[in-house]
Amino acid sequence: MTRSHTTEDLVYLSATEAQHLFTTRELSPVELMRAVIERAEKVEPTVNAFTERLFDEAMEQAALAESRYLGKGGLTPRPLEGLPIAAKEKHSIAGRSLTEGSLVNEGNIAAENAPIIDRIAAAGGIIHARTTTPEFSIATYTHSRMWGVTRNPWNQDFSPAGSSGGSAASLAAGTSFLATGSDIGGSTRLPAAVTGTVGFKAPYGRVPGAGVLTNDHYRGDGPMARTVADAALLQNVLAGPDPRDHTSIAPRYVLPATYQDVSGMRIALCIRLGEYMIHPEIEANTRATAQALADAGATVEEIELPWTQQDILMSQAGHFSTLFAASVAETTAGRRELLSDYTVAFLDLMAAARTQVSYLDSLHAEKRLQRELAVAMTGFDALLCPTTAVPGWHAGDSLGGAKLEVDGEPVCDTLWAAMTVPFNINNRCPVLNVPSGRSSWGIPTGVQIVGHPYDDATVFRIGTALEHLRPWSYSRDRRPAL
């Protein structure tokens, strides 16, 4: 370990920087894992991002990774060799708990690895910890009766959002280098936005999943990281077909290693996505991000989308009530007393929705939203918009029926705080969240870069440019105070 690196400096290296230091033998995977574990022991009592610590196994794997970098045994380093990676608990690991944060599932043990867990292991990544979610990944915040409250490292009064809140909080706290997320309505992008990290919602089928809900076309697993290059590194490992998921796409899509700048690109800017109400700080940070792209030579043109709240609600009501909520209801039948309050509220709301909105109704609304986005993006390379309508929400609040305020006006309910679900409805579009700044609430804000269907490279190109134009790296003056 070089003398210029403190333990805190080490844990906030990017994954690609760590790999370079491994290769040049200036840092060993054992030293790095030891630093990450030391950091976790310090900050986890405050952040509470981990459900399970696999530190002993991780140290053993780090020693094996060190051997590869030293060229012992004729083995060479693999794409993620030696990197500490946190896995969302819902991503099953054979022989370990698979509860999804619910007391209903207490004692449940996974029979096999999720596809993305297999891929991380095969690439040499070290899963040293598993991360918290709301119960069944059902909410836009992260707390449960099983695991308690997970807090945002930047301001512990606030939530790291959800459902991949534990993964995002771990990245921001310096207790992992990469992390897995999943996204059925914003569960990767929302936590990334409020923790100043990067989250990618891949197009449907790009990353294989597990279980019956792989056939839910809103969903998808994906990477979370502190830099765009790190997110691309993990995404290139996760992508590709798997026989356990019929929806997974062949051949494997590989993101480029380098990108051109944004000069000459045409980028649409949409602030409200139809009828969302936006906090003025969110709008200001989004416009500043767009201006940086314009200053770098892109043509940025503001547009309006004709999306209505009615169509967005109709899409979600028919879709979630028929698929996701029905699955959770089946799993929890007869054990309602064990559920978190927000899970009960969600199941009751979706049971009522099933009596009013059919799946076909939701498909009609989805089709309108998809067509309207396609028309609006014609002639543009990508769309830029906010990830959240407000800077954040408080840790521990279930937000059932709560009214969040935007610019002094009440938003109808917390559904409209998250501006992500329209792009689960437009499910073939790749969407990358990157930081857009900070709010006066002391937590980061984010923007979504939305690409045309299956054009993943373009959103990473723009994200890479923004990382250079408006740096958010976790340098010594840009870290949470923990």
DSSP secondary structure of 105-161: GTT-B-SS--HHHHHHHHTT-EEEEEE--SGGG-SSS-EETTTEE--BTTBTTB---
Whether residue 271 is contained in a domain is answered as yes
pLDDT of residue 398: 87
The total number of structural domains in the chain stands at 1
Whether residue 153 is contained in a domain is answered as yes
Q: Where are the beta strands (DSSP E) in 205-277?
A: 221-225, 266-269
Confidence of residue 3 (pLDDT cuts 50, 70, 90): very low
User: What number is the average pLDDT over the span 236-242?
Assistant: 98
Confidence of residue 344 (pLDDT cuts 50, 70, 90): very high
pLDDT of residue 371: 98
pLDDT of residue 411: 47
AA identity, residue 233: L
CA 93 to chain centre: 19
pLDDT of residue 298: 98
Looking at residue 446, the DSSP 8-state letter turns out to be E
pTM for the full model? 0.96
For the chain, the average pLDDT equals: 95
Whether residue 98 is contained in a domain is answered as yes
pLDDT of residue 475: 87
Average the pLDDT over each of 126-140, 266-280, 282-296, 394-408 and give the range with the smallest value.
394-408
Whether residue 481 is contained in a domain is answered as no
Whether residue 482 is contained in a domain is answered as no
Dist CA 135 CA 339 (whole Å): 8
Pairing of strands 382-386, 266-269: parallel
Dist CA 272 CA 296 (whole Å): 24
pLDDT in tens, 102-157: 999 999 999 999 999 999 999 999 999 999 999 999 999 999 999 999 999 999 99
437 or 402, higher pLDDT:
437
CA 197 to chain centre: 9
8 Å CB contact between 208 and 175: no
> What's 116's domain CATH number?
3.90.1300.10
Which residues make Cβ contacts (< 8 Å) with residue 41, sequence separation at least 6?
none
Kindly tell me if the per-residue pLDDT of 409 is higher than 60: no
Q: Which of 394, 7, 52 is nearest to 174 (CA)?
A: 7
Which residues lie across from 410 on neighbouring strands? Answer: 405
pLDDT of residue 7: 85
Whether residue 176 is contained in a domain is answered as yes
Domain that residue 419 falls in: 7-469
pLDDT in tens, 148-200: 999 999 999 999 999 999 999 999 999 999 999 999 999 999 999 999 999 99
pLDDT in tens, 28-83: 999 999 999 999 999 999 999 999 999 999 999 999 999 999 999 999 999 999 99
pLDDT in tens, 16-25: 999 999 999 9
pLDDT in tens, 377-387: 999 999 999 99
Dist CA 75 CA 67 (whole Å): 8
Kindly tell me if the per-residue pLDDT of 401 is higher than 80: no
Whether residue 462 is contained in a domain is answered as yes
Dist CA 378 CA 226 (whole Å): 31
pLDDT of residue 1: 38
Whether residue 345 is contained in a domain is answered as yes
User: What number is the average pLDDT over the span 274-303?
Assistant: 97
